[in-house]
Amino acid sequence: MTEQNIPLLEVEDLAVEFATPDGVVRAVDGLSYSVTAGRTLAIVGESGSGKSVSSLAVMGLLQIPPARIVRGAIRFKGEDLLTLSPKEHRAVCGTHIAMVFQDALTALNPVHTVGWQLTEALRARRKMSRREAAARAVELLDMVKVPNAKERIKDYPHQFSGGMRQRVMIASALAMDPEVLIADEPTTALDVTVQAQIMTLLSEIQAERDMGLILITHDMGVVANVADDVTVMYAGRAVEQASVFDVFASAAHPYTRALLRSIPRLDQKGAGLEVIPGRPPDPTSVPAGCPFHPRCGYAEDVCRSDPPPPQHTLRYDRRSACHFAERVVQERGGVR
């Protein structure tokens, strides 16, 4: 394995559950993935599929209890973060792994200026003077293309537009020069033009710094434009893992195909938008067998009784958690 292919971050067989009044919720159930320098991994799925919970586990931001990491490993450059003390875990995630949160307005502190929020970490972790940290904060805002950065560091989060707040969040995440950046639906609630600007910005910064980027999203259009590799999640599990080309050329899981069929297409003007029948399972009562079988046109008796093979390998770099993965790949037509 070449140095370029050595993973920066590896998640192996991660399982996270929550104790709730209605029972135990297994939010993440045996998730594995890896990301290397300079590549983008998109983690895709419906709301409640476990995408964000898995990333909060990586960052050490789960509230324990009610959350509990049942099993698994989270390795950064080979070191399992789950074996570290909370202080040591924060040191790694505050410096080497950073996260851009979904809602910048709630992630930023409303009672402090953005300049104060950008300089706080620099002064605490890099031991910069107030003047050095302020100069670096201006550089960071310039880097993410916030106009008049020198003046705007004096402003509060509510004085920025949604797109500009998200740029501030990105600047904050990049302050410590991380090697891995996790972006949790960074374009949610932004208009299409601003979404494109934010994704272009992330791609440019990644290329410049050769970072590993994990993009959490439900937008398959964004995935097609920026991702190298894709992990599709359903009911807390990875149901398909492949290159972005393979996913869009010939999806190997019925759920992935259903997601792709639900994307509006310009060449089908006037056609009705396809939907996935049914709805995701109750997280406190996931059905036996394959959790997608109640919504799947490929389902047979084995799907209702036996869990799908979690590492059904179609090629060394492609996996599908489906009993009939080969058949799904071969039937390149519509999803059933």
Q: What pLDDT score was predicted for residue 1?
A: 45
CB contact set of 256 (below 8 Å; sequence gap of 6+): 232, 239, 240, 247
Q: How is 60-117 classified by DSSP, letter by letter? A: T---TTTEEEEEEEEEETTEEGGGS-HHHHHHHHHHTEEEE-S-HHHHS-TTS-HHHH
pLDDT at 11 over 90: yes
Element (H, E) at 150: helix 149-152
pLDDT, position 228: 92
pLDDT grade for 313, boundaries at 50, 70 and 90: low
pLDDT score recorded for residue 333: 46
The residue ranking higher by pLDDT, 206 or 189, is 206
Lowest mean pLDDT among 41-50, 214-223, 256-265: 256-265
Q: What is the mean pLDDT of residues 109-135?
A: 87
**Which of 193, 221, 179, 151 shows the shortest CA–CA distance to 36?**
179
Report which of 186, 181, 215 is spatially closest to residue 198, judged by C-alpha positions.
186
Mean pLDDT of 297-306: 87
Position 13 scores a pLDDT of 92
Distance between start and end Cα atoms, the chain: 39
Please, which residues have CB within 8 angstroms of residue 63's CB and are 6 or more apart in sequence?
none
Report, as an integer, the average pLDDT of 44-60: 89
Helix (H) or strand (E) holding 328: helix 325-330
Mean pLDDT along residues 48-54: 89
pLDDT at 145 over 90: no
Q: Which of 318, 328, 326, 329 is nearest to 238 (CA)?
A: 318
When pLDDT is averaged across residues 318-324 and rounded to a whole number, the result is 86
Looking at every residue in the chain, the average pLDDT score rounds to: 85
In the chain, % of residues over pLDDT 90: 22
Task: Collapse the DSSP code of 176 into the 3-class scheme (helix H, G, I; strand E, B; otherwise coil) and give the result.
Answer: coil
Q: What is the DSSP letter of 280?
A: P
**Mean pLDDT to the nearest integer, 228-251:** 91
Cα 254 from Cα 266, distance rounded (Å): 23
Note the pLDDT of residue 109.
87
The mean pLDDT of 1-14, rounded to a whole number, is 77
Average pLDDT estimate for 111-119: 90
The pLDDT, as a whole number, for residue 332 is 57
Whole-number pLDDT of residue 268: 66
Contact between 235 and 25 (Cβ < 8 Å): no
In this predicted structure, what is the pLDDT of residue 314? 66
CB-based burial label for 175 (10 Å; 0-12, 13-18, 19+):
buried
**What's the one-letter identity of residue 172?**
S
Q: How many CB atoms lie within 10 A of CB 234?
A: 27
Please check the confidence at residue 295 and state whether its pLDDT lies above 50.
yes
pLDDT tens digits for 186-199?
A: 877 667 777 788 88
Question: Which of 121, 62, 55 lies closest to 86 in space, CA to CA?
Answer: 62
pLDDT of residue 241: 92
DSSP state of 179: S
**11 in Cβ contact with 54 (< 8 Å):** yes
Confidence band for 2, pLDDT divided at 50, 70 and 90:
very low
pLDDT confidence band for 230 (50 / 70 / 90): very high
Distance of CA 152 to the CA centre of its chain: 29
What residues form DSSP beta bridges with 29? 15
Tell me which residue of 273, 180, 238, 182 sits closest to 45, measured CA to CA: 238
Give the mean model confidence (pLDDT) for residues 58-87.
90
Question: For the chain, where are the E strands, in sequence order?
Answer: 9-20, 23-35, 40-44, 67-76, 79-80, 97-100, 180-184, 212-217, 229-234, 237-243, 313-315, 318-320
- pLDDT of 189 reads 66
Backbone phi and psi for residue 108, each to the nearest 5 degrees, phi listed first? -85, 145
Given this model, what pLDDT does residue 278 score?
83
